[in-house]
């Protein structure tokens, strides 16, 4: 769908891209993808790579496809898109069939998520065989991105890296010829938004922790792309402006039509006080005059804060469809293998003693474990706090934006 140039795109160049065609996947043997970015030098090599270019242009193409399109618009759904939607519904059904275990003493991730994760991984090959035109021998490679899109099984957390895995899953299926250029709007409005809805179920059911202790937190504890593509939806809107996120009536009325406002409504439903306190980045963005500038800024931010950050990209998976063509340095002695949840992490390298987690503290990539917002919300309800109420008391002050 999007991406055919030979130079690595800048954010500005990507902004001008609309609907070029993704090259088809190379005709070679498929294999399960693996993590290969361990160092700053490897990250820099990735940023100059064809895979980075593919991701940037894919985001750009889908971005342009949803300008002015509402979530409620009646879009054509191709057989490939419908098959993917059916898969997402099976995931939602699986979650409904695996309730959280009694874990009331903790506000952190619920262990039942691991049961859900294992079940989804078990049925993933079967689900992918329902996608028309998807090669059978590609399924072991494609399903890895699918499995990793729901959260980390070990840490029971979720962040923009897992969201990126879902994007890569769509890219892989697209490059294998399942989707068409005419599917671009539906891939965001139907497929991606359904994924976000399923993730809200998982986040609220299993209290998934935000991945890391900092990062893209001013937007959402978990997501980035709904804001980016949501801003594209609102480009050129006559009445809804970036500052409209502070108008509760506007948010309530239009949240069913626009992803950006739906995300604002979600945040307001689970967090206390105002956006300035708990989501300073969103509050700051609301001062921008047009959605065009918001959209462009978020795309640049995605390049810098997601694709350009080692704590996120050390988890990125490379296979044959999204290949790695950078350097492969040897791992330090004593570092964990790829099966370890902290494989490749900075705190797990060198002389830190195994994974370096319990003995040496949490690295920049994992952060200090942070309770799920849903756990905090329930705790607040038990103690009589109301969502949206202003926090007060000694020592309470607004979080500065930097």
Cα separation of 219 and 201, whole Å? Answer: 19
- What are 316-335's pLDDT values in tens digits? 999 999 999 988 756 556 55
Closest among 370, 371, 351 to 360, alpha carbons compared: 351
Q: Please answer whether residues 176 and 25 qualify as being in contact, where contact means their C-beta atoms are separated by less than 8 angstroms.
A: yes
Pairing of strands 317-318, 34-35: antiparallel
Pairing of strands 209-210, 157-158: parallel
Tokens 């998807």 sit on residue: 134
Cα separation of 298 and 330, whole Å? Answer: 35
- Three-state DSSP class for residue 157: strand
Query: Which residues of the chain are under the pLDDT cut of 70?
Result: 1-28, 104-107, 212-218, 329-402
Look at residue 165 in the predicted model and tell me its pLDDT. Answer: 97
Beta partners for residue 209, in sequence order: 157
Look at residue 292 in the predicted model and tell me its pLDDT. Answer: 98
Q: How many helices (H) and strands (E) does the chain have?
A: 17, 4
Q: Please answer whether residues 209 and 156 qualify as being in contact, where contact means their C-beta atoms are separated by less than 8 angstroms.
A: yes
Cα separation of 195 and 203, whole Å? Answer: 12
Tokens 């935000």 sit on residue: 210
Look at residue 348 in the predicted model and tell me its pLDDT. Answer: 44
Question: Taking each helix axis from N to C terminus, what angle separates 193-206 and 259-270, rounded to the nearest 10 degrees?
Answer: 10
Look at residue 108 in the predicted model and tell me its pLDDT. Answer: 76
Cα separation of 4 and 31, whole Å? Answer: 24
- Three-state DSSP class for residue 68: coil
Look at residue 355 in the predicted model and tell me its pLDDT. Answer: 28
Question: Taking each helix axis from N to C terminus, what angle separates 112-128 and 79-96, rounded to the nearest 10 degrees?
Answer: 150
- Three-state DSSP class for residue 5: coil
What pTM did the predictor assign? Answer: 0.80
């Amino acid at each position: 769908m999007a991406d055919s140039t030979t130079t690595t795109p800048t954010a500005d160049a990507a902004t001008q891209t609309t609907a070029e065609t993704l090259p088809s996947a190379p005709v070679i043997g498929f294999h399960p993808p693996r993590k290969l970015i361990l160092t700053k030098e490897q990250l820099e090599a990735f940023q100059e790579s064809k895979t980075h270019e593919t991701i940037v242009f894919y985001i750009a193409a889908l971005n342009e496809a949803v300008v002015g399109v509402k979530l409620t618009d009646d879009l054509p759904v191709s057989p490939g898109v419908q098959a993917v939607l059916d898969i997402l519904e099976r995931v939602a059904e699986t979650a409904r069939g695996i309730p959280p275990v009694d874990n009331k003493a903790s506000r952190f991730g619920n262990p039942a998520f691991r049961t859900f994760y294992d079940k989804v991984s078990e049925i993933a090959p079967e689900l992918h065989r329902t996608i028309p035109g998807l090669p059978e021998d590609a399924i072991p490679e494609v399903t890895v991105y699918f499995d990793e899109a729901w959260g980390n099984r070990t840490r029971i957390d979720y962040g923009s890296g897992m969201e990126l895995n879902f994007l890569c899953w769509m890219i892989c299926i697209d490059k294998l010829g399942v989707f068409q250029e005419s599917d671009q709007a539906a891939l965001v409005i139907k497929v991606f938004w359904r994924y976000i809805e399923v993730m809200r179920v998982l986040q609220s059911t299993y209290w998934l922790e935000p991945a890391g202790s900092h990062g893209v937190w001013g937007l959402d504890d978990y997501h980035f792309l709904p804001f980016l593509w949501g801003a594209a939806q609102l480009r050129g809107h006559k009445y809804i402006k970036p500052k409209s996120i502070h108008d509760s009536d506007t948010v309530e009325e239009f949240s069913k039509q626009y992803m950006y406002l739906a995300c604002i409504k979600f945040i307001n439903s689970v967090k206390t006080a105002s956006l300035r306190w708990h989501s300073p980045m969103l509050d700051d963005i609301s001062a921008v005059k047009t959605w065009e500038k918001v959209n462009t800024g978020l795309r640049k931010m995605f390049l810098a804060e997601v694709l350009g950050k080692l704590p996120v990209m050390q988890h990125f998976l490379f296979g044959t469809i999204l290949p790695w063509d950078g350097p492969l340095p040897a791992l330090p002695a004593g570092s964990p293998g790829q099966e370890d949840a902290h494989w490749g992490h900075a705190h797990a390298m060198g002389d830190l003693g195994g994974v370096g987690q319990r003995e040496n503290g949490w690295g920049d990539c994992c952060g200090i474990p942070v309770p799920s917002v849903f756990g905090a919300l329930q705790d607040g309800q038990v103690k009589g706090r109301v969502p949206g109420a202003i926090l007060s008391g000694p020592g309470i002050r607004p979080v500065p934006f930097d």
